Amino acid sequence: MKQLIFFTLLAVTFGCNKEIQKADLERVKGDFEWHHSHDGLFESIYSSTVSDKYGIRIKSRKKVSFYANSEKVLSLKINRIYQTQNGGTAIILQWTEHLERAIIVEDNSLTFFDWPYGDFYNSFQRID
């Protein structure tokens, strides 16, 4: 009987968590276009001054795709999703075998630190 109660509680806990992540993903999925990047101090790069166009697509199949000039250059698995303290959504990606990276989505904007310009805060705007 104790095992039945334990497994029921376990299923309810993790089942609800999965539903919350699905809802979080539905809220943020879509296409985002790169707008600008800044290093946090002095240097900024704007889309109006660069010929390359970059985009990020958050999919409902637990994948995030990265585009350069309309061609997919990278596709990463979503490990988990959670709400940030300020009401945004953090999407944790498997960047390399041992390294994760976070995409932050707030309203219609997305911030990602490593792409397209490494060591910059790269800002994207929702286009769909």
Summarised one tens digit per residue, pLDDT across range 43-102 is 999 999 999 999 999 987 789 999 999 999 999 999 999 888 888 999 999 988 899 999
**Residue at token pair 């979080």:** 24
Q: Range of 106's domain?
A: 2-126
b/e sequence 15-54, b meaning 16+ C-beta within 10 Å: eeeeeebeebbeebbbbbbbebbeeeeeeebebeeeeeeb
Residues 86-104, buried b or exposed e (16+ Cβ, 10 A)?
eebbbbebebeeeeebbbb
Percentage of residues of the chain with pLDDT beyond 70: 81
Q: What is the average pLDDT value for the chain, to the nearest integer?
A: 83
Neighbours of 114 (CB within 10 A): 15
Please tell me the total count of domains within the chain.
1
Distance CA 18, CA 62 (A): 12
Mean local confidence (pLDDT), 19-43: 82
CATH classification at residue 21: 2.40.128
**Is the whole-model pTM more than 0.85?**
no
